[in-house]
Structure 1
Amino acid sequence: MFTKGLLEVFGEMVDHHPDHYIFYFPFNLDKKHWNGLCVDASSWIITVFDCNTSLRSEASMNFELKPISEMFPYLMKQVGLRISNSQLMPMVVEREKTVLQNIISADSSLTLLLMQTHSLSGIETCRCIAPHILASEAQRVAVMLYEYHMKL
């Protein structure tokens, strides 16, 4: 069972986007390393945006995300997505390895940039992010966040 607040948040998202069930959220490992998650309930895939793949092995990352991959189908069913009991299988976890890497684990801004870019343009555009454009892209994200929160 999920909390009422969680069901309301995801229920609103499902109601407002009935054909598009993609959710983005940050995920922290060991209170040290941030990853971005794209949970696509349409294709049953969780894409992990990991900007420092050297910190965790593939097996370790899958172990960390196993509870989410198992829980999310039940959450989607409870908020109203039409899922039969036979479809309540764990989601596939895919770790995107072709994105820019950042060895500074305390700097999680690249993860946010990747999530935003993926939501707007897809994985191919994420692969085009290179060190020489990070400053201008970070500034663009900051302006977008400011405009969003100021409702401009």
Structure 2
Amino acid sequence: MQKDKTGSIEPTTLGAGGHFRIKDMFRLKMPCANCPFRKEGAIHLSPGRLSSIIDTLLKDDHTTFYCHKIVHSIAGGQFEDGLYTPSTKDAMCAGAAAYLMKAGRPTIGMRIAYLTGAVTPSEWDKAADMVIDPPFDKNSKKPG
């Protein structure tokens, strides 16, 4: 926990680059113009890449998917031997967050953010219509 400018205590976590506020990790609420999760205008990915990202997010709710605009900017983290070390400026992709909410499968990080009051589950509602639909009913854990 850290105090903000007003003296209020805000939940923080320790990342590779030091402490950062949890709400900063989830500050993006709308997908970028070419977010890979968008129904229209998505960046072109290699065949199977988006499915792989989604599979990872659904199978491992300890993970996240960082916004590509930040990752590939000067504010982003570092790539070394194909592995990415995030910076404290990184944020979860709003498209991925909206997709996971549509699927009823928020990550553990998202759930911690809800529990601490850093964000609310409805913050990605406006983005929901912009992102692709999950291949299964959000009330069911089974595909189909």
> TM-score with structure 1 length normalisation?
0.25
Structure with more relative contact order (C-alpha pairs < 8 Å, separation 6 or more)? 2
Structure with higher strand content: 1
Please tell me whether Structure 1 or Structure 2 has the larger radius of gyration of its CA atoms. 1
Structure with higher helix content: 1
